[in-house]
Amino acid sequence: MRSRPAAVILLAAALFATAACAGGRDPAGGDESVVVQAESTGGSVAAPVPVADLLKFDSRTLDGQAFNGASLAGRPTVLWFWAPWCATCAGQAASIRDMFAAHAEQVNIVGVAGLGDEKAMREFVAEFELAGVTQLNDQTGEVWRRFEVTEQSTYVFLDGAGRMTHRGWLDSVQFESQVAAFAAG
């Protein structure tokens, strides 16, 4: 990993300024926040980041680990809502894997599996080599409902403040372009 001291210092300053302006509170009235760690040459800098209401959810990964949506706060995020039997989703898997490999340090990319059983979801992840990408097991549809997703394949893009900037289908070229733009800031 490359060290970018100037960028880290600017990030830390921006986070502190944001926290000071927001008073550490979510503008929607919540007071939940997370601490973002940024490395610098002199140690680490931590600043609270407000958590948008959309990110206030709990789920489980396909690996059975607890997942808190608040962990996504402070960075642009892409949620990919997919189903294990969806041919379109299978065609998008390579773009998900490629964008994760290229931009995981700048953009959160999380799969949200639904509309199928856990065994089929695990087989899909293995077949399309998506093991590095966090995959939520949303068999109950809770996360799908939270983001008002009614069909697979749907992408939801959230900016660093947790505001939705896109919800819907994208072809691979559009998806990759939007992820690259998020990564560039």
How many structural domains are present in the chain? 2
Kindly report the CA angle at 57 between 37 and 131, in degrees rounded to 5? 70
Residues 6 or more apart whose CB falls under 8 angstroms from that of 134 comprise 61, 67, 109, 110, 111
- Model pLDDT, residue 47: 66
- Model pLDDT, residue 12: 37
Q: Give CA 159 to chain center in angstroms.
A: 10
Looking at the fold, whether 151 and 166 belong to one and the same domain comes out as yes
Looking at the fold, whether 65 and 146 belong to one and the same domain comes out as yes
Residue 46 lies in domain: 5-50
- Model pLDDT, residue 15: 34
- Model pLDDT, residue 185: 87
* Model confidence pLDDT, tens digit, residues 117-146: 999 999 999 999 998 999 999 999 999 999
Looking at the fold, whether 149 and 174 belong to one and the same domain comes out as yes
Looking at the fold, whether 97 and 147 belong to one and the same domain comes out as yes
Looking at the fold, whether 106 and 154 belong to one and the same domain comes out as yes
Looking at the fold, whether 86 and 32 belong to one and the same domain comes out as no
10-residue mean pLDDT profile of the chain (185 residues): values are 37 34 34 41 60 95 96 97 97 97 97 95 97 95 96 96 96 96 94
Looking at the fold, whether 168 and 119 belong to one and the same domain comes out as yes
Looking at the fold, whether 67 and 145 belong to one and the same domain comes out as yes
Looking at the fold, whether 59 and 81 belong to one and the same domain comes out as yes
Looking at the fold, whether 42 and 59 belong to one and the same domain comes out as no
